[in-house]
Each structure stands twice: as C-alpha cells, then as structure tokens.
Amino acid sequence: MKASELRGDYSRAGSDYVVEQDWPGYSPEEHALYRKLFERQSKLVPRYACPEWIEAIAGLESAAREIPRFDRISKKLRVATGWQIVAVPGLIPDDAFFTHLANRRFPVTVWLRRPEEFDYIVEPDVFHDFFGHVPLLFDRVYADHLYEYGKGGLKAMRLDAVRMLARLYWFTIEFGLMKTPAGVRAYGAGLISSGGELAYCVDDPKPQRLPFDLERIMRTEYQIDRYQERYFVIDSFEQLMRETAPDFTPIYAHLRNLPLWT
Ligand code: HBI
Ligand code: FE
C-alpha cells in the first residue's frame, strides 16, 4: 500500500500519525451508513463471533446508532484494560503502528467507507477498526497480547522480520478463529466486520481450518483481496498469549531461509 494511494487525509497527522476525530464533521448520511453496517453485522455476530467479542459489544451499545466518539470509548477502555484508541487518517507506517500498540494505544481510522463499498473495502475504515478490533481490547488477555505484539513489532523491524510477524497478525488479529464448545467462532477483526466472510469462515467446508502453529503461520502467505483459503484456530486467548511469548529471534533466523506455504 503506497502512501500516495491511501485515501485518508494525512496532511494534519503528527509524527505519531494521530489526528483529531472531528466527530461533528460526520454527516447524517455517514452515521446512517455506519448504523446500517452495524445492523447487518449484528444479525451475524450472535451466531459467528467468539463469546469474548459478544460480551464486550454489550458494553458498547452507544456505538450502535452512530459513529462512536473515540474519546468517550477511550475513557471506558482505560478503566477496563488500560488501553485507549487514537484517531488516525488510515493505514500508518509500521513503526508508528507498533509504537502505538506498545503504548496500549489502538489506531482507529477516522473516515467511513462510501455506500458503494458497503460489502467490501480494501483499506480499513472506521467500521472495520471500531466494530472489528475495539471490542476485544476490553478483554484483558487479548489486550495484553496486542501490547506484546506491538513491542515485538518494533523488535521485528530491527531484525528485518516484519513480513513474518505481519503474517501472525493477519492469521490471528485480522482473520483468527477460536475453538468453543459450540464449534469454531471468529475473533479476527477482518471476519467480524465482514458481511460475507463471517459466515463463510465458520460454515463453509472449502477453507482449511488448521490448529494454531506459529512457524506454519509465519511461513504462510495470504491474499488481502479475497476470502481466506485457510484459517488458524486457537483454543483461547491464553493459548495465543502463551505461544507467542518466547523470543522470536531464533524463530526468525530458522524460518528466514525456508520456503513459503502458499
Ligand atoms: N495502520 N492504521 C493501521 N492499522 C493497521 O492495522 C496497520 C497499520 N499499519 C501497519 C499494519 N497494520 C501492519 O503492517 C501490521 O499489521 C504488521
Ligand atoms: Fe484491521
């Protein structure tokens, strides 16, 4: 994603890429589109989202009718897990992104997709970031994992291993599945916020559903513009935390020369 193609307004972003959310700047049409997206996903999440996400969204009912005010959500989030959300113009460079996570700040895009992008959008917008990512920041173990991920990202930059680490983020935070007594459920933000992939990732027999395997994940390429051909399934956020706790340095060294799984 070259900066020139990105659609957000980066002109007022500081060195940490944080901007004002400018909540009064949203039009009634934008709030209505956000509400339509929220209502569409609300029909699906009871059946397909993991219990932790279902539990967290219950405390965010203010975010159902209109685009949420980040400062108000941050106030609640700080109390729950010590995190806050910061407004950004869209995708930001890795070092800024990792630095925010390593300080318990989650970057949330300020702009909302256009009506014709109702079913699919390439870059994360406020609906993907807020509905997909923010609720799980209220879960202590998930939030602690994301904090460790941020610190690990800064280290991966020093080791030139961001590409391998980004695959971990992709197959967990964005497209992760979790085992539950009722069957697999989605916790990845890209799934939770998707009109079509949320049911597909749980119900469709086509994609592979593999047990979480850190080294397999770090060697598995992914496509960003279509439904995933494989998902990785964790037992719990505790397992995700445990399996990603070790120092990745020797793993990066070992994997660097191995062929990729496609
Ligand atoms: N920026 N705003 C934003 N959101 C992301 O999820 C994001 C990013 N920049 C970099 C990035 N993700 C990826 O490189 C990491 O997932 C590795
Ligand atoms: Fe995302």
pLDDT digits (tens, 9 = 90+) for 102-144: 999 999 999 999 999 999 898 999 999 999 999 999 999 999 9
- The order of strands in the sheet holding 208-211 is 183-186, 177-180, 230-234, 208-211
Coil, strand or helix: which one is 139? coil
The domains found in the chain, sorted by start residue, are 3-255 (1.10.800.10)
pLDDT tops 80 at residue 220: yes
Fill in the DSSP letter of residue 32: H
pLDDT category at 172 given cuts 50, 70, 90 is very high
The predicted-structure confidence for 28-85, as pLDDT tens digits, reads as follows: 999 999 999 999 999 999 999 999 999 999 999 888 889 999 999 999 999 999 999 9
To test the pocket of ligand 1, the residue of 17, 91, 99 to mutate (highest count of ligand atoms within 8 Å of its CB) is: 91
Cα 89 to chain centroid distance, Å, stands at 16
Task: Give the Å distance between the CA of 131 and the centre of ligand 2.
Answer: 10
Say how many CA atoms lie within 13 Å of 12 toward its Cβ: 10
Cα 104 to chain centroid distance, Å, stands at 14
Task: Give the Å distance between the CA of 93 and the centre of ligand 2.
Answer: 14
pLDDT tops 90 at residue 146: yes
CA 110, CA 245: separation in Å to the nearest integer?
Answer: 32
Average pLDDT over residues 210-229: 96
